[in-house]
Chain A
Amino acid sequence: MPPKMPMKSKGMRGAPKQKAKKGTMKRLLGMLFKQNKGLLIVALICITLSAATSVMSSIFLTEVVTILQEGLALINPTAEQIAQGVIALSPAQSWQAIWPKLLTVFLCMGGVFGLSVFCSFLYHRLMAIITQKFLHQTRTNVFNKMQSLPVRFFDTNRTGDVMSVYTNDIDAMRQLVSQSIPSLCSSIISIITLLVLMVRFSLWLSLVIFAGVVVMFFVTKKVGGGSAKYFMRQQISIGNLEGYVQEIMHGQKVVKVFNHEPNTKAEFDSKNEELCSDATKAHGYANILGPIMNNLGNILFVTVAFIGGVLVALNVPNVTITGVQPLINEQGFASMVAAIMAFLPISKQFTGQINQSSQQLNSIVMGLAGASRVFDLMDEQPETDDGYVTLVRAKIDENGVITETTERTGKWAWKHPHKADGTITYTELKGDIQMFDVDFGYVPDKIVLHNVTLYANPGQKIAFVGATGAGKTTITNLINRFYDIADGKIRYDGININKIKKADLRRSLGIVLQDTNLFTGTVMENIRYGRLDATDEECIEAAKLAYAHDFITRLPDGYNTMLTADGANLSQGQRQLLSIARAAVKDAPVMILDEATSSIDTRTEALVQKGTDRLMEGRTVFVIAHRLSTVQNSNVIMVLDHGNIIERGSHDELVEKRGSYYQLYTGAFELE
């Protein structure tokens, strides 16, 4: 039995919270088998051999005992034998007589055990390899799958829940694959072998064991089931507690400012108490299963010995599968005693095996529940993409004829194959975006955008203003096709965006999102995320443009400063500057700035704006901002209200109009 490695490093929080679906085991085994056919077969053979040979020790014991009985008979002949003229041998002579036989048995033992040790070595090693390979495959499969999922999936699943697939669920599978399944296989094989052996030695005693097994089965079901139930419940309690702690710690400073510590302590204590009670029950059940099964085994052992003894005392002949044995065997000993001697260790092994499989119950239940959630994620529908128009580098000659090229010309074109006649047309990438009567809802029955129509010409700066939930971000989400429109049409350089391959569409858009997500890595790497082949100089240039260069150079290692955990060592404003630099280095013809400067003070914002304006000269920019100062110099400002564009025009026009924008502008109503 390999030791259980306490694989509970950070982020692993025990078991999943739901029960496994049916068919999970089958699918899991199928996957396992498909991945490692060869190795798995070898491992299975080794498990079988090692389990079967480990059972052999009992057979050897009976062999040895029989030979010893023979030897003792030579030393102590019965009166009858003496009468027949048999002379009692000295122990040494007797030893000599039986030694060859014993030696054969010992050599056999050596051989069989050697094989067993070898098999056990091989299968443990193989299982280590298989398990790790399987986990790696599962992890990467899940991750790859996750990359293909639509944004909608992440709207409906919390980060923590998706994370727990990687940590808890896959870890639960590890336990299942590396330990529970092999151990179960081994136990089943041992149990079958032992069953055969038991019946071979004594039918009567086998019956006793069967009765015992039935009892053990029910105990396992009851105690093991209780344990599994409370472990699940404990998980929920941990989740509750964790949620509470997370919320409180997130607002820890508020707690302090309001002297609210006693209340939070009390609340925590009650949740903690609940967890403790569930944990006590869960561990209580788990802890007693071992001793109960163990001692049931002992009682069974005693019962077998006892019944065996009674059978001997009552002179009941031993019955085996081969028939009824005589009361006294050839060596002059009660054949029943020999049978008991052989039978007892077998029964011990037998109950031991059952005990061992019962101990796996918990990890099997949890492993399957984990696997079930992993499969759920794998079965999610990936983002569909029927686009066939692709983005290619282009060369444009003086006549305006576009040809495809691999050179870096700085020009791009949409490659549009026409299925009907097999021709290909090229359209220059300009960044012209038009929306016609677009309707959209995140859920089908709740439309959040109504009849949105807008034209954005290259070189224009289009701004969206409006209250939270008015649909500003939604519009940009439609342009990059995070979501698909319900009705209407969106054209990009005259092409219906549904025809454009999503990857190419997004490649042509530079987006600075509301949430600045930076990645673990250096500042330079984070900027380069925008364009992987950008040189250091280009990255620095972009940083200067985004007005980030200043603070970056003041960081301990400048551009090589490592950012950890979403840039936790930077201020929100600095993070925003970095994400603008990241978008700037991408150098896309269309840029979307969604509250990109909301945490930057107005003076710095003006500087950043100057930079981005220079960058975006002749290109299309969409700006969403809370602060009206951010959008003032836009060509067109759209005022959104409940998914409708209620006003549009330049700043001056709108102020002139004295409508909603004017009211917003003069602070007559609130922007939220």
Chain B
Amino acid sequence: MKKAKNKEKIGFFTIIKQLCKSIREYKKPSIATPILVMVEVIFECLIPWIISLLLGVIDYLGSGAVETEMTIKIVEFLSYGKEPNLLLIILQFGAVLIALALLSLLFGVLAGKSCAKASSGFAKNLRKDMFHKIQDFSFSNIDKFSTSSLVTRLTTDVTNVEMAYMMIIRTAIRAPFMLIVALTMAFTINAKMALIFLGTTPILAVGLILIMTKAIPFFHKIFPKYDALNESVEENISGMRVVKSYVREDYEKEKFNKASTNVKDNFTKAEKIVAFNAPLMNFCIYAGLIAIYVVGSTLVINHNNTLFQYTQLNTFMSYSFQILMSLMMLSMIMVMIVMSAASAKRIVEVLNEKSSISSPENAVKEVKDGSIKFENVNFKYLEKAEKYALCDIDLEIKSGETVGIIGSTGSGKTSLVQLIPRLYDVNDGKVCVAGIDVKDYDVTALRDSVAMVLQKNVLFSGTIKDNMRWGNQNASDDEIVKACQLAQADEFIQGFADKYDHYIEQGGVNVSGGQKQRLCIARALLKKPKILILDDSTSAVDTKTDALIRKAFREYIPETTKIIIAQRIASVEDADKILIMDNGTITACGTHEELLKNNEIYKELYYSQNKHADDKEVK
């Protein structure tokens, strides 16, 4: 384990430092918990000691046994110079003990509550920090993490760290402190007897460390396997129809059985090692017990019950139990911390991720018009990628123009338009909007002016109105209706029973593809953008509606620059300018007529899609 720690040393401290930043307003309970726990432990450890005193007194007064000075002093003290009265003394003892137990209870409860508060709050802050961080991610940051991994980090990983934190501020303080107090108490009663603990404790400690070092690597090995097993189940469930179509049930069963058996075998091996824990613990307790009895007996007889009383055997039993228990707890904490270290690391990975795009100082807050200019732009998604996604792009679009972009999958259409609202940063060259480099704008201001309907578009659960207000939070109902009319969505919305209050299910599953696209366009229109980008956003809309939408654009937002990416030639043929893209470059640029004349690809596409035009003419 030490080796592993050394390897991660630098990372380890960064992790701790980064995590600690999220404690914030929960510092108070986080500090209070250990203190409360310590007080609780002190009271708890006092109890067996006082009981041993009480037993001594009872023994002395009840049967006249030979007693130590301590007992006699106590009796004198509690009798207030009168004839010793056992009942009175017991009463006083009882009061003190009950008071101690109550105090211990009080502090225990307080510690437990404050620990819960601290750890839940810490977890809350961690989640909050992560989520806020993620919201500030740029597109390239988002691409780096998968959605499911981010969700896991936000839930399971945080829960793991929360549990570890709870352990650390409560148990990790309690255990060693208990160990120290119990040892001290044992030594005050009788040093010679206490030495026994020094014999058994190392045995347990060494044993535990041995078990842990043997078992932990196993667990480290199993967890990824276990995760993989669960992932394959998930895959199987979502691919159930494929499995059934190909009649692969038995194949899948066998695959699963193999994987599960593998997990089982490894787990069994690890758990078998862990199974040594309890007997080891028992052994140490019992060995200690026999040693206490043997040594205690000689002390009692040899010193005629003065140096060590047989009534204290009991107390020693309690302490030995407490000491070993706390060692056991320590070992559990160790495991817990090791296990949660991976989770902590995954959390810090998110927290430490620097958003690659942020607004500059003295940022330009206003976008004047919708003109766009690309100058020698090169762009790739990953620094280490060999191929550029965009290469040598030079392009000028005037404010208010309509530009169509055509090209096959992977030709760079989406990459190109994503640079305009600065969703990604260029590697070389520059992109200007209204004559100013996009990097000089305030990001929010820029994106407010550049509305983009993404290819992979998403509606969120909520009413249509809720979704529309993403475009403009203060949009009036009239504005919303207007935008929907422009996007040709009003008609079908009126068809819903609840009209604009129609509830959209998560992912927009209860509206059709074409309806979804029109809603997304309306949402973008509500932003009243200077530049509107439609990334293959009318693919599921019929040609007629598509034409109506474009007509509405022309008539109602003529001053807005419109960039339309499409598969269908019909969607772009009336654009001021059509770009043909291939392999990250713009291979041709011109109007429909020009391209039809000069460009082979365009021509081919046009005729393949418009055969019916000829058919019609023929017939």
Q: Are A670 and B226 in contact (CB under 8 A)?
A: no
A283-B119, A305-B51, A312-B62 known; A665 and B454 CB under 8 Å?
A: no
Q: Which of A254-291 contact B (CB under 8 A)?
A: 254-261, 263-265, 268-269, 272-273, 275-277, 279-284, 286-288, 290-291
Cβ-defined partner of A302 (8 Å) among B97, B289, B461:
B97
Tell me which of A3-11, A192-200, A364-372 binds B: A3-11
* CB–CB A506/B247 < 8 A: yes
Q: Does B31 contact A (CB under 8 A)?
A: no
The interface bits of chain B over 230-245 (1 if a CB of A lies within 8 angstroms of the residue's CB, else 0) are: 1111111111111111
Q: Is B410 an interface residue (CB 8 A)?
A: yes
Interface segment, one of B74-82, B121-129, B370-378 = B121-129
Q: A154-B240, A309-B54, A529-B246 are in contact. Are A129 and B460 (CB under 8 A)?
A: no
B264 CB contact (under 8 Å) in A133, A245, A573: A133
Interface segment out of the listed A117-125, A422-430, A610-618: A117-125
Per the bound structure, the CA–CA distance linking A301 and B117 in Å amounts to 31
Contact present for A146 and B237 (CB under 8 Å):
yes
Quick one: given A295-B102, A655-B615, A666-B612, are A256 and B241 in contact (CB under 8 Å)?
A: no
User: Are B335 and A5 in contact, with the CB atoms below 8 A?
Assistant: yes
Identify the interface centre among A71, A287, A509, A520: most chain B CB within 10 Å of its CB: A287
| B residues 40-85 touching A (CB-CB < 8 Å) | 40, 44, 47, 51, 54-55, 58-59, 61-63, 65-66, 85
Within 8 A of B (CB), among A48-74: 50, 54, 57, 60-61, 64-65, 67-69, 71-72
Which of A207-215, A338-346, A491-499 is found at the contact surface with chain B?
A338-346
Q: Considering the chains assembled together, what is the distance between the CA atoms of A263 and B536 in angstroms? A: 27
Contact A309 B301 (CB under 8 A): no
Contact yes or no, B62 A151, CB < 8 A: no
Contacts of A282 in B (CB 8 A): 116
Q: Are A102 and B297 in contact (CB-based, < 8 A)?
A: yes
A4 to chain B, nearest CB (A): 7
Please encode chain A, from 205 to 242, with 1 for each CB lying within 8 Å of some chain B CB and 0 for all others. 00000000000000000000000000000000010011
The answer to whether A340 touches B163, judged by C-beta atoms less than 8 angstroms apart, is: no
User: Once bound together, how far apart are the Cα atoms of A506 and B567, in whole Å?
Assistant: 35
Contact residues in B for A3 (Cβ distance below 8 Å):
274, 277, 328, 331-332, 335
Whether B242 contacts A513 by the Cβ 8 Å rule is yes
- Asked if A94 is an interface residue, CB under 8 A from chain B, the answer is yes
Q: Report yes or no: B304 in contact with A603, Cβ–Cβ below 8 A.
A: no
Q: Does B470 contact A (CB under 8 A)?
A: yes
B272→A302 contact, CB < 8 A? no
Interface-located stretch among A22-30, A328-336, A445-453: A328-336
Within 8 Å by CB of A280, from B120, B282, B339, lies B120
| CB–CB A298/B279 < 8 A | no
Out of A14, A120, A254, name the residue touching B282 (CB < 8 Å): A120
Taking a contact as CB atoms under 8 Å apart, the answer to whether B159 and A254 are in contact is no
Answer yes or no: A166 CB below 8 A from chain B CBs.
Answer: yes
- Which one of A14, A118, A254 has the highest number of Cβ atoms from chain B below 10 Å of its Cβ? A254
| Residue B32, interface by CB 8 Å | no
B-side contacts of A131, CB under 8 Å: 271
Which residue of B47, B62, B63 is within 8 Å of A298 (Cβ)? B47
- Whether B276 sits at the interface, judged by CB under 8 Å, is yes
Whether B514 contacts A672 by the Cβ 8 Å rule is yes
Q: Are B93 and A306 in contact (CB under 8 A)?
A: yes
Known A279-B123, A302-B101, A313-B86; judge A120-B279 contact (CB<8 A): yes
Given contacts A8-B163, A247-B460, A600-B409, contact A129 B268 (CB under 8 A): yes
User: Quick check: is A653 within 8 A (CB to CB) of the other chain?
Assistant: no
Q: A95-B302, A109-B293, A261-B135 are in contact. Are A10 and B227 (CB under 8 A)?
A: yes
B583 near A: Cβ within 8 Å? no
Judged by DSSP, the binding face of A is helix
Asked whether any CB of chain B lies closer than 8 Å to the CB of A19, the reply is no
Interface string of A106-149 (1 = CB under 8 A from B): 10011001001110110011011101110110011001101110
Q: Once the chains are docked, how many angstroms separate the CA of A402 from the CA of B417? A: 62
Within 8 A of A (CB), among B214-273: 219, 223, 226-228, 230-253, 256-257, 260-261, 263-264, 267-268, 271-272
Contact status A292-B109, CB under 8 Å: yes
- Give the Cβ gap from A515 to chain B, nearest Cβ, in Å: 7
Q: Which residues of chain A are near B289, meaning CB under 8 Å?
A: 57, 109, 113
Give the complex CA separation of A76 and B304 in angstroms: 8
Question: B332: nearest residue on chain A (CB-CB)?
Answer: A3
Query: Which of these, A106, A255, A333, contacts B294 with CB under 8 Å?
Result: A106
Chain B residues with CB under 8 Å of A113's CB are 282, 286-287, 289-290
Q: With an 8 A cutoff between CB atoms, is A33 at the interface?
A: no
Residue B184 CB within 8 A of the other chain: no
Indicate if B314 sits at the interface (CB-CB under 8 A).
Answer: yes
- Asked if A40 is an interface residue, CB under 8 A from chain B, the answer is no
Q: Is A667 an interface residue (CB 8 A)?
A: yes
A517–B238 touching, CB < 8 Å: yes
By the criterion CB–CB under 8 Å, are B113 and A284 in contact?
yes
Residues B336 and A6 in contact, CB atoms below 8 Å apart:
yes
Assess whether B447 is in contact with A257, with CB atoms less than 8 Å apart: yes
Check A256 against B156 for contact (C-beta < 8 Å). no
Instruction: Contact check, B303 vs A136: say whether CB atoms are below 8 A apart.
Output: no
Report whether A64 and B313 are in contact in the complex, using a CB–CB cutoff of 8 Å: yes
Contact A257 B131 (CB under 8 A): no
- With A287-B113, A295-B102 already in contact, the answer to whether A60 and B293 are too (CB < 8 A) is yes
How far apart sit A137 and B234, CA to CA, in the bound complex (Å)? 19
On whether A337 and B470 interact (CB within 8 A), knowing A10-B152, A163-B237, A272-B128, the answer reads: no
For residue A589, CB closer than 8 A to chain B, the reply is: no
Closest B residue to A506 using CB positions: B247
* Contact call A11/B151, Cβ cutoff below 8 A: no
Q: Which residue of B lies closest to A112 (CB)?
A: B286
In the complex formed, the residue of A with least CB distance to B147 is A249
Whether A520 contacts B231 in the complex (CB less than 8 A), given A292-B109, A337-B63, comes out as yes
A606 CB contact (under 8 Å) in B47, B104, B135, B608: B608
Interface contact A276-B152, CB-CB below 8 Å: no
Which residue of A252, A260, A265 contacts B132 across the interface (Cβ within 8 Å)?
Answer: A265
Q: Closest CB of chain B to A542's CB: distance in Å?
A: 14
Asked if A408 is an interface residue, CB under 8 A from chain B, the answer is no
B561 at the A/B interface (Cβ < 8 Å)? no
Given the complex of chains A and B, what is the CA–CA distance between A130 and B561 in angstroms? Answer: 69
Chain B contacts with A in 429-487, Cβ cutoff 8 A: 444, 447-448, 451-452, 454, 456-458, 460-461, 470-471, 473
Provide the bound-state CA to CA distance between A552 and B311, in Å: 82
Assess the B104–A125 pair: CB atoms within 8 A. no
**Within 8 Å CB of B107, what residues of A?**
291
Neighbouring B residues of A162 by C-beta, 8 Å: 237
Point out which of A4, A136, A260 has the most chain B C-beta atoms below 10 A from its C-beta.
A136
Contact of A294 among B62, B108, B281, B339 (CB under 8 A): B108
Residue in B150, B298, B454, B527 whose CB lies within 8 Å of A95: B298
CB pair A283 B97 closer than 8 Å: no
Q: Give me 25 A-to-B residue pairs in the complex whose CB atoms sit less than 8 angstroms apart, sorted by A's number.
A: A12-B156, A13-B156, A54-B282, A102-B297, A125-B272, A144-B253, A147-B250, A147-B252, A166-B233, A253-B142, A256-B423, A257-B447, A264-B135, A272-B128, A276-B124, A283-B115, A287-B170, A295-B102, A298-B105, A305-B94, A306-B97, A308-B58, A341-B314, A571-B410, A603-B604
Given A258-B470, A312-B58, 9 other A-B residues pairs in contact with their CB atoms under 8 A: A2-B278, A12-B156, A71-B300, A102-B294, A105-B293, A259-B447, A265-B135, A268-B128, A299-B102
Instruction: Please provide the 9 A-B residue pairs with the shortest distance between their CB atoms, ordered closest to farther.
Output: A291-B108, A667-B543, A287-B112, A517-B239, A251-B458, A672-B512, A128-B271, A309-B90, A670-B542
